[in-house]
Amino acid sequence: MSKYNHYLQRQLPSYPLAVVKSKIKDGKVRINENARKCALRDFQWGTDEIIQAIGHLTTKDFLKSDPSLYVANTMLDFYSATILGELVFTHFYINQDGDLVINSCHCQTE
């Protein structure tokens, strides 16, 4: 086994996209202020476009799941995708109230 095999293994999302999309459908979405500001700055998107973008994510867009530095016992799912003609980087989690919380939505930098 190569010492680089861990780079080939893909972690699974903490929040299945089917669950994420059901939260959107049910209107159980919160977008933090930083995500709003960055989406407006980078894409001229408002709330509707942010939610629409998250709804377009697919499993192949998944990057990783990491513990939140700010919310105890919470994992963040990270995605990168071309959505609505823009290269988007986003991460989100589902809080204890069952709401989808979009923490970030900004231009993917190289």
Note the pLDDT of residue 16. Answer: 96
Note the pLDDT of residue 2. Answer: 42
List the one residue out of 58, 34, 50, 59 whose CA is nearest residue 86: 50
The answer to whether 50 touches 39, Cβ cutoff 8 Å, is yes
Domain ranges, ordered by start, for the chain: 13-107
Note the pLDDT of residue 108. Answer: 73
CATH topology for the 13-107 domain: YaeB-like fold (3.30.2310)
Going by their DSSP bridges, the two strands 86-94 and 29-31 should be labelled as unpaired
Note the pLDDT of residue 95. Answer: 96
Report how far residue 101's alpha carbon sits from residue 29's, in angstroms, rounded to the nearest whole number: 6
Note the pLDDT of residue 3. Answer: 46
- Split the chain (110 residues) into runs of 10 and give each run's mean pLDDT: 42 95 98 97 96 95 93 94 92 97 85
List the one residue out of 55, 18, 37, 39 whose CA is nearest residue 89: 39
